[in-house]
Amino acid sequence: MATKPPFISVWARETPPPRRGREHPALSREQIVRAALELLDAEGMEALSMRKLGARLGAGATSIYWHVSNKDELLELVLDEVYGEVRIPELTEPASWRDAAAVFAYGMRQAMLKHPWMVPLLGVLPSFGPNALAVNNTLMTAFEEAGFTGKTLDYAVGAVVSYTLGATTPEVTWLNMVARSEAGADEWLTNLMRQVEVAAADYPDMLARYSTEDFSDMGVAKSLTFDFGLVAMLDGLEVRLRWHLDESKPPDPSSASPAVDAAVDAAGRG
Amino acid sequence: MATKPPFISVWARETPPPRRGREHPALSREQIVRAALELLDAEGMEALSMRKLGARLGAGATSIYWHVSNKDELLELVLDEVYGEVRIPELTEPASWRDAAAVFAYGMRQAMLKHPWMVPLLGVLPSFGPNALAVNNTLMTAFEEAGFTGKTLDYAVGAVVSYTLGATTPEVTWLNMVARSEAGADEWLTNLMRQVEVAAADYPDMLARYSTEDFSDMGVAKSLTFDFGLVAMLDGLEVRLRWHLDESKPPDPSSASPAVDAAVDAAGRG
DNA sequence: ATCCTCATCGTACGCTGTGCGAGTGACTTC
DNA sequence: GAAGTCACTCGCACAGCGTACGATGAGGAT
């Protein structure tokens, strides 16, 4: 059992000093990353192999390894390239932290929907690239100007980012599945529904709920769901912002009722 | 370029009727799933190959394919097995929907931290298994008893699930990285910090914020962050529950200020 | 004893990431 | 001009992957 080599983020490793070399190298890191991005968008994650990427660049497969030390490293670069698409405009109004958050959330969601292959990567690769940092910084600054400070600032920004990620992930999973079902999405969906109905026979409430569901305009429904949760989160944060500004203590400092504590402890021991 | 076969969820495919066969087949689906789960927990995703799994079961690699048609299908089964660990106790108090949500959130988070390999899977495989449905159903029922109905019910539950997923994902990514860095976590972290400082030189605010950060007790910090966002979300939902019960319209039906609309539209076109 | 079905397994195919060493051409130094 | 250095490219090879396929055997049913 060969232990796998340690993971070192591109952004954490020493970059060799640029020495003068040939004028026109055939390959460049930017070029490779761009080609990889195109390939991923066109055919998805499992279509990206070093050989295919090399072929697309008119180069040998292993030539890539001069510019990039790993496939993981390449993926880190591509991922940060996507973060570059998430642009948050300067919003100078006072208390426009809500707008900044909303623009980020929708931008991030759009990026994830446009590049579905990136979603699993978020669970494996860190997001320390310059573009990811820039996005994060913009959000931080907007929240800071609104009055969030210290840990509350981190908490609030983290909450918005978390919701955005978590809300979009299953959406992308769903779309991936529909896309992969080659047959018409309709027939595939009814097939799935029938099976789920069987599996969910034990839960009559669930069946009742599903039967009233409208699957015709899924896109709109997903958007509404996303917006609902986002606004709910922002409202919750706004309450905390007021507490923060007034330096008033929240009425109940902890979320945990005794019942919750007990259940969480039990789960922890299991 | 061979087009990949379509994806068909385990839960959506026809299961062959059980015919009477040998009394003691050497392998069983449950056994395989359990062994796969152990292997994944012990050595992570990329250590799970059909050959290794077969070896661990004292069987040939391809024998597994009698009980499971795919590696993806096996992973779907293992994933649902993990959902089985997320148990939400019966909370019969009125208005205990908050407790139910909190217990789910902490349970799900714990499961994800315990089985880090599952996080990327959430972006690829659907969660239609019986255990996943059970968890979802319990949450739904608790919210319904509290007064959520119709689409608002879906929205509210979805918001809690989304936040939980999205908040835990980067946590797991982080832990994975630290674990993979073979060298002491401390030295690895300082190394990363140095590089990030260089990369973030353009953002003086960010540097200032990071320097006041305390990295000593990361676990506690992450827990606090998680709880903060969760309670914020629940507060936001509680406001909506009251609107819902009073059938009063929210003061501002949409989150979108003109500035946000413009920005979102621009992103959509890009 | 014969047949039929369930279940297991060995082999093989095409694919993957990537380590290694040889090759190539341009620039620097004499 | 000659020699050397160095950036860069590439072919080969290795170990491993998922899994299609056909052979093989082990029971129960007849």
User: Is residue B18 one of the residues assigned to a domain?
Assistant: no
Nucleotide with C1' nearest the B65 CA: D19
The C-alpha atoms of residue A214 and residue A193 are separated, in whole angstroms, by 12
Q: Taking residues B81-106, what's their average pLDDT?
A: 87
- CATH number of the domain enclosing B121: 1.10.357.10
Q: Distance in angstroms, CA of B15 to C1' of D29?
A: 25
List CB contacts (< 8 A) between A122 and chain B.
123, 169-170, 173
Give the domain range for residue B223: 88-180+217-251
Which of A96, A244, A255, A269 is the best residue to mutate to test the B interface, defined by the most B CB atoms within 10 Å of its own CB?
Answer: A255
User: Is residue B264 one of the residues assigned to a domain?
Assistant: no
pLDDT band at A263 (very low <50, low <70, confident <90, very high): low
Average pLDDT, chain A: 87
The H or E element that residue A242 is part of is helix A218-246
* DSSP secondary structure code for residue B127 in this structure: -
Domain total in chain A: 2
The C-alpha atoms of residue A195 and residue A116 are separated, in whole angstroms, by 26
pLDDT tens digits along A214-239: 777 888 999 999 999 999 999 999 99
Answer yes or no: do B175 and B241 share one domain: yes
pLDDT tens digits along A15-53: 666 555 555 667 899 999 999 999 999 999 999 999 999
Residue in A closest to B88 by C-alpha:
A263
Degrees to nearest 5, angle at CA B119 with A171 and B124? 45
- CATH number of the domain enclosing B44: 1.10.10.60
The C-alpha atoms of residue A232 and residue B257 are separated, in whole angstroms, by 16
Chain D bases closer than 7 angstroms to a protein Cβ: 6-12, 16-22, 26-29
pLDDT band at A270 (very low <50, low <70, confident <90, very high): very low
pLDDT tens digits along A109-146: 999 999 999 999 999 999 989 999 999 999 999 999 99
Q: Check B119 against A123: CB less than 8 A apart.
A: yes
Answer yes or no: do B124 and B230 share one domain: yes
Å between A34 CA and nearest CA of chain B = 17
Answer yes or no: do B127 and B229 share one domain: yes
**Inter-CA distances, B21 with A132, B25, B65, B66, Å:** 57, 8, 17, 14
For residue A74, pLDDT over 80 is answered with: yes
A91 inside 8 A of chain B by CB:
yes
- What does the longest C-alpha to C-alpha distance in chain B come to? 71
- Please give the pLDDT value at position B87: 83
For residue A69, pLDDT over 80 is answered with: yes
Answer yes or no: do B92 and B137 share one domain: yes
Answer yes or no: do B125 and B241 share one domain: yes
Chain C bases closer than 7 angstroms to a protein Cβ: 5-11, 15-21, 25-28
Answer yes or no: do B151 and B236 share one domain: yes
Residues 6 or more apart whose CB falls under 8 angstroms from that of B74 comprise B32, B33, B36, B64, B68
Å between B247 CA and nearest CA of chain A = 17
Residue carrying structure tokens 């969480």: A264
User: Is residue B172 one of the residues assigned to a domain?
Assistant: yes
- Considering CB atoms only, which of B6, B133, B270 is closest to A182? B6
pLDDT band at A56 (very low <50, low <70, confident <90, very high): very high
- pLDDT: which is higher, B217 or B256: B217
Q: Which of B112, B201, B213 is nearest to B165 (CA)?
A: B112
Å between A28 CA and nearest CA of chain B = 21
- Please give the pLDDT value at position A252: 58
- Please give the pLDDT value at position B196: 79
Answer yes or no: do A43 and A106 share one domain: no
Q: Rg of the Cα trace of chain B?
A: 23
- Please give the pLDDT value at position A160: 98
B176 inside 8 A of chain A by CB:
yes
Answer yes or no: do B120 and B171 share one domain: yes
- Please give the pLDDT value at position B148: 96
Q: Taking residues A62-71, what's their average pLDDT?
A: 96
Q: Check B169 against A128: CB less than 8 A apart.
A: no
The C-alpha atoms of residue B59 and residue B75 are separated, in whole angstroms, by 19
Q: Contact, B226 vs B163, CB < 8 A?
A: no
